[in-house]
Amino acid sequence: MTDPSPPSPGVGAQVLQFFARLLGDIVRQLAWFASAFAVGTGGTAIACWIYGLSMSLSLLGGLLVLGIALALAAM
DSSP assignment of the chain equals -PPPPPPPPPHHHHHHHHHHHHHHHHHHHHHHHHHHHHHHHHHHHHHHHHHT--GGGHHHHHHHHHHHHHHHHH-
Q: Tens digit of pLDDT for each residue in 6-61?
A: 666 677 888 899 999 999 999 999 999 999 999 999 999 999 999 999 998 999 99
pTM: 0.73
pLDDT of 15 reads 85
